[in-house]
Structure formats: C-alpha cells, structure tokens
Structure 1
Amino acid sequence: MNGARVEFRGLRRRFGATVALDNLNLTVEPGELIALLGPSGCGKTTALRCLAGFEHPDEGQVLVDDKDVTRVPANRRDAGMVFQSYSLFPNLNVRDNISFGMRVRKVPAARRHERAQELLELIGLPHIGGRYPHQLSGGQQQRVALARAIALEPRVLLLDEPLSALDAKVRVTLREEIRRLQLSLGITTIFVTHDQEEALSMADRVAVLRDGHLEQVADPATLYDRPATPFVAEFVGTMNHLPGTVVGDRVEVLGQSLPIDGPAPSAERVEVLVRPETVLVTPESDGGALVMVSSFRGSTARLRVQLADGTEALADVPGHDALRLAPGTKVRVSLVERPVLVAPGTETGDVRTAVPEPDVV
C-alpha cells in the first residue's frame, strides 16, 4: 500500500456550547503513524471522525493528498477504521467479516475468499476463518477487525482506542502487532488513545490535545524530554516539581546549580520540573531526606521521598536497590547533571510542592 498525506487545516467543531476542536492544524506524512493523545473530551476522537467522514467540521478543511474531502461521504473516502468495540457482525464468520467490504464492492467470491485468507495469514490467525465472533477472544476479535479494515487496501487507517477493552498483556502484544503490520504495509495511520504508554511506544510522532487545542506534536523522545507546555509535561509521564532559585542562566535546586533548558524565566523563585528517573537517591545515615514509600516494579522501584523542607518527590531506582532503600531509610537526594525545565512559581511566590500524580494509563 502507498500511504496518503493527511492534513487538518483550521478545523473547528462545536457541539452546542462545547468546543471539541478549536483551530486544529496538523499534517500526517505518507506512511507515518501518528497518535492523538489526550484526556477524555480533548477532541481527539472528533478529529478522527472528521477524517473518516462521520462528522463534518463547522470550519476548516480535511485534505488527503491535497484533495479536499471535508464534505465527501464516508463511503467514498479511502480509509479503513477500527473501533474500540470491534463491531464485528455476529451472524457472519471470520472470513465473511473480513471480506464484507469486498462483497459490497462486488468483488468476485473467489477473490474475496483468497484475500480474506491472505489477511488471516498476515494477522497470524490462518485457521479461524470458519469461526464466529463469539468463539474468539478479545484479542482475536480485534485482529479480525484490523484485517477487515485493511481488506480494501485503504491509504489511511484510523484506529479509535482499539486496545482499551483488552487486558494489559494482550494490549502489549497487539500494539506490537499493529505496529509491525503498519510498517510492513506502509499505510498512513492515525491512532487515538488516552494511554501515554501506547502512544510513546507505537507512534512516529505524538500529537497531544487539550480542550480542542493542539498543545504539542513531536516524536516520543522529544515529547518526553522537552515538553512544550506545563500540560504536556504533566500528562506525558510523571513530573516532580521542586522549589528552585534562578541565578543567571542556571537554577539552584537541592543544593546543586544546574543549567536551565531553554530561556530562563524572569521570576527568581521557580518550579524545577524533573522526571523520577533523573532523581538520584543514596542511603546516608545523616541524610536530610527520608524514604516514605517504596513500590517494587520489577526492573525498577519507585520511591516516594520526603525532602528536608517537607517537599515530596518521586524517584525511580534499579529494582535491586529496593531492599537497601526501604521505607524509613535516611537518604541524600540529588539530580542528574543535565539541563532542567523550569516554570514560574505561583502568584504568591510559593512553588507547588504537591506530590506528583501517578502515571496516566
């Protein structure tokens, strides 16, 4: 397949008083997998439905290979869609579900069956063609839904939270399978999810939406390490907020002087934003910090540490260090020597010292 170039240009969509999309501008390159990430109600599914033809924007355009398809009916758009609920026909077996679109387009029966078998081989389920949806697991049903979506060789594949109804282990396996198929077919894919781990592990780029606005679009590494806005910093991963003082182009935090990533703010009192994996914790009998909670996660352990000033921070340490960093252990806390993100403090001059929220999943 040859993936299409997709562009959302100045897209606006309202539902009564609710603004679902507010001037969305986003381009997806041919063969790219881009994830639309954000909390419920941020507009990501509305954007997908506008591309599919199930919604029409109030303003703006949807273009596919520079052709305006904003008002083109859904059945005339070269796109395949996979829904969260699978949406397989319960009265049709797997082979007929996959070949349904071909039957509508009056493809000869022999070719339909041949193509369905090709796709069953492609998704790793060659022997289930005669089964019915109720005889399949959730993961198998979603693979069949994926095969049905690509049966007509669309140039754009749309995935609307297709893994959210599956258990954790199946989700990991299936997202790897989706990525493998997408790369092998070269199909342009737009993947809607609220799960940051899915977005970061699968996508070439991630577009973070909030209240209908595009906050940032970047590759996963840049999004994680260089969030463009405080919202992105909070939503993607876990972020500590530590009190710091700006001195020139550096910031003093936890007794260290670190370079500032980006322009230094005018405020002297700031929040220093650091990820848990950049927080270093060392057992020390006269240390000024105390381990409050230790959560073992296999290869890593997450510590909740109370600092000398009462601020609490999260730190990720190797799993084999969990025993020597048990709750009640006095420790010294420092940061990896690297540029850090800073944000102005509150209007009162104080910085927020609340414990960071856990990962969004």
Structure 2
Amino acid sequence: MSTTTGARVEFRALRRTFGTTVALDGLDLTVEPGELMALLGPSGCGKTTALRMVAGFDHPDAGQVLVDGTDIVNVPANRRDAGMVFQSYSLFPNLSARDNVAFGLRIRKVPSHARRTRADELLELVGLPTQGNRFPHQLSGGQQQRVALARALALRPRVLLLDEPLSALDAQVRLTLREEISRLQKELGITTIFVTHDQEEALSIADRVAVLRDGRLEQCDTPVDLYRSPATAFVAGFVGTMNRIPGHLTGDGAVTVVGQRLPVTGTAPAGPEVDVLVRPEDLRVSADDDGDARVVTASFLGATTRLFLRLPDGAGVKADLPTRDAAALTPGTQVLVRLVDHPVMVAAR
C-alpha cells in the first residue's frame, strides 16, 4: 500500500503573456496531494507554461503558485521540491545510466556509496536493474525515458512534473511506459502533473484531467465525468470522438434531431438551427429498407465496429456498434439511425 507523501499544488489567478500572446489567462486549479493530474489541450493552450511555473523555469506576470500553501513564485528552481521529466530525455551522454540517476545526489554531495545504492534502487523500480553501466546511446528510447524518470525521483521530490514524456516513443512503448508511470505514481504517492496533447493518455492514467483552452480552464474532472458530462461544447468536441448532427431547437428546452425530440442539457445557443453533439456509441443503427441513412464504410476494431453513415441531408456521422451487431451492416446498406434517449448537448452550427 502506498503512503501519500505528495504536496498540494495550487495555481491561483495565474497569468503569463509573451508579447501579445496570452499563454495563461487567470488559471485557477488545485492538484490534491498524491493525485495524478493531466493537463490536456491543443497546442498553445498554456499547459506546458503552467508546468514550467511549478518547476521554476518561468515566472508569471501575475498570480501565485502554491505548494502546501506556500507561494513559490520567487523560490529558485533548484530549491523547489520538484522533479521533472522532459520529452527529450535530456540525459548526459557521457554518464552511465546509474550516474545519470545519481547526478542530483552528487550535486547535493551525498556520499558515493549512498548515491550508488539509491540509483540502483531506482533503476530496479523502473525495470532496469541490469542497465546501470550502460550509456544513453546503448539504451532504447523507452529505456532512456525510464532513466530520466528514475533521475527525477532520486531526490524524493514531493511533486513530479512530466512534460509530454511519451510523445517521442513508438505506440507499444508508450503504452507500456504510461502503465509503469501510473504504477509508480500510485506506489510512491507522489503528486504528479502530466502534460499531454494525447487524450487517450490523459484519460487512461489520470485521477483528474484539466482541459485548457487559450490559457483558461474549461473543465477539470475525472476521466469518466469529463467524457460523459462535458461542461462545454469545446470539451465535448475535444475529448473523445463527437458527432455533430444538424438539429432544430423547439423553444421549450428540447431539440429535434433525426426524427426524435430530445431534451437539451447545458446552455443552448440562440438557434434555432444547431448541431447536436452525440458520441458514436450513443447512436443506434439498424438495417431498414425504408431507412433514410446509408452505411458508407465499416471499420473493424475488434469487439467494436465503427460505421461511417451518410444522413439524408449529407451529414456524415460515426457509430460504434458491437461487431456481432454490425456484421450485416455492410457498405451500401440502408439503415435507420436513432439516438439514445437522454438529454443532449447542442452547439451553434
């Protein structure tokens, strides 16, 4: 069982500009002790800038960064209790894996025997018990990133900062390493902030995900709630796959779409012509000679098959069905399309 040793990290009204570009625009966000928080958003949304504020590599124009209630904005980077892992590994090429891990301990004048013991413990922890004598060029990309992770953990930081650490790796290595990061984080109980533009990574390992847009927080929630109950149309469209199906507001808190009348959740635009936001798994599709939609393509994804459908108005939509139910829905089949009967979110067309 892990013991939570992580710190509470708070961003309060954090603002940072670069010339006329606003990177952070009053960011307010709290990361709880021992939590793995993913910062997710498109390029330029401010997620890496926020991470650099905690590390001490950048300073805000206004606002505070608090660690356990203490503002650290003016604390030098080398005096902050944080470890950081970069996308590019940033290992010293002339040092062995063991010496890379122990580098920070050496700077702090920890005795050589204690450094070696700690480095070997961490190499064991990250799955590289026999690689200590190898140099970075003798390691694969995934192994180098494991060494970088061990190095960040060597000083027992209370906050671990991960800046897109998996983006330079191939798909299978990414999957394996993100599972390892999740395991280590839970085992050590360390507060972790994970920056990524990959929503699958964020949703698969984070306790909560903060979605940023133009330097502002759109929503912070658990992966399940973020996916199933997006707070804004932007979050709905950014997280997961989302269809936009033409609909018509009826003026009484409902919308008509593909022949159905459904209640609207959230704030509706002025309308009346809107797009209804629907997940592919929330579409029901059945073969029907009188149906007004048509199957264009069917993509086998294992247990699920994704259908691309063409509606009578020309709109294309994606529907995810169990493969056994989709077997007969081959390209060209006329189908009837219906939405799951629950409130829907709408956006301006």
1:279 corresponds to: 283
1:295 corresponds to: 299
Aligned mates of 1:108, 1:30 — CA distance in 2: 31
Aligned mates of 1:278, 1:143 — CA distance in 2: 39
Identity %: 69
1:18 has 2:21 as partner: yes
CA-to-partner distance for each residue in 1:133-178, whole Å, 9 max, x for gaps? 1111111111111011011100000000000000111111111110
Amino acid at match of 2:191: T
1:62 has 2:79 as partner: no
Aligned mates of 1:289, 1:222 — CA distance in 2: 31
Aligned mates of 1:222, 1:261 — CA distance in 2: 15
Describe the SS at the equivalent of 1:234: helix
Describe the SS at the equivalent of 1:324: coil
TM-score, normalisation: structure 1: 0.92
Amino acid at match of 2:179: E
Residue 266 of structure 1, CA deviation: 5.8
Describe the SS at the equivalent of 1:302: strand
Amino acid at match of 1:225: R
Aligned mates of 1:325, 1:145 — CA distance in 2: 49
Which sits farther off after the overlay, 256-265 or 332-341?
256-265
1:304 corresponds to: 308
Unaligned runs of 5+ in 1: 346-350, 352-361
2:230 corresponds to: 227
1:217 has 2:220 as partner: yes
> In the alignment, is the contact (CA less than 8 A) between 1:242 and 1:271 conserved in 2?
yes
1:117 corresponds to: 120
Q: Superposed, which structure 2 residues align to 1:72-221 within 5 Å?
A: 72-221=75-224
Describe the SS at the equivalent of 1:221: helix
Matched positions, count: 345
Aligned mates of 1:132, 1:264 — CA distance in 2: 58
> In the alignment, is the contact (CA less than 8 A) between 2:86 and 2:165 conserved in 1?
yes
1:339 corresponds to: 343
What do you get for the CA RMSD once the two structures are aligned?
1.5
Aligned mates of 2:272, 2:278 — CA distance in 1: 18
TM-score, normalisation: structure 2: 0.95
Residue 239 of structure 1, CA deviation: 1.2
Aligned mates of 2:206, 2:235 — CA distance in 1: 16
Residue 25 of structure 1, CA deviation: 0.9
CA-to-partner distance for each residue in 1:329-354, whole Å, 9 max, x for gaps? 111111112221123x4xxxxx4xxx
- Which residue of the other structure, out of 239, 242, 245, is the alignment partner of 2:248? 245
CA-to-partner distance for each residue in 1:183-238, whole Å, 9 max, x for gaps? 01000000000000001111111111111111111111111112112211111111
Deviation beyond 4 Å, 4+ runs, structure 1: 263-266
Unaligned runs of 5+ in 2: none
Amino acid at match of 2:283: V
Aligned mates of 2:270, 2:23 — CA distance in 1: 34
Residue 321 of structure 1, CA deviation: 4.2
Aligned mates of 1:234, 1:144 — CA distance in 2: 36
2:321 corresponds to: 317
CA-to-partner distance for each residue in 1:248-294, whole Å, 9 max, x for gaps? 23332212222322466664433211111111111122221101122
Aligned mates of 1:122, 1:188 — CA distance in 2: 18
Which sits farther off after the overlay, 27-36 or 242-251?
242-251
